[in-house]
Amino acid sequence: MNIDTHAPGGAKRAAFYVRVTPFDPNPEPQLLELRKAAAERGYELVAEFTDTVSGTKTKRPALDKMLTDARRGQFDLLIVYSCDRIGRSTRHFLDTLDELHRLHIEFCSVREGIDTSGPQGGAIVLLTSVLAGLERNLTSERVRAGMRRARLDGQRIGRHPLQLDCAAICLDRHNGHSLQKIAKAHKISTATVQRVLKKQPAEPLDESA
């Protein structure tokens, strides 16, 4: 990844994002197209971000770094070779474009001919925002529908409650065992051990002593 935060002459600062796969790791074919597009529009290249991962991988260090720099205002416009280079899924692609728009960063995809800085840019941005919201709503609706079906089928939603032997936990503590040892023995967290101990009534004082 190369970064130059200065763009002389007032030209728009452009960043490239490229994704290649482990089976075809050469980014140059994409970069040649991106450099050509930037030169034709008079953009100044200030950063290149390249990931070598498959399209469905969730961890993309260069993509994450690109979004971090976008939030810091390091460039004005992002250029990719195609939309499928940037999005892990349709939802992720739309959410990414929506975030770039909110950061006032323009987007250009060479293969699809998308350019939010052009005459149709406003319509593209509006459509992207609408589709991103629609995708989020549909996903939420599908989740809620699945939970309703599960409840109707008698299935439990969420994690099962912990089955705790409170008496044994208190006995272990009375015998001088540490919180960590008790937690390990009962396969629970030390915080859970502390909650159990706090709920137990204090032992009465032996007044005959």
Please check whether residue 85 is in contact with residue 19, taking contact to mean a CB–CB distance below 8 angstroms.
yes
Query: Could you tell me which residue, 81 or 145, shows the higher pLDDT?
Result: 81
Section 2-30 average pLDDT:
79
Residue with tokens 């009465």: 204
Does this model's pTM top 0.75? My answer is: no
Burial of 62 (0-12, 13-18, 19+ CB in 10 A): middle
Higher-confidence residue: 14 or 88? 14
- Residue 190 pLDDT > 70: yes
Distance separating alpha carbons of residues 44 and 14, to the nearest angstrom: 6
DSSP 41-58: HT-EEEEEEEEES-TT-S
- Whether the predicted pLDDT of 205 surpasses 50: no
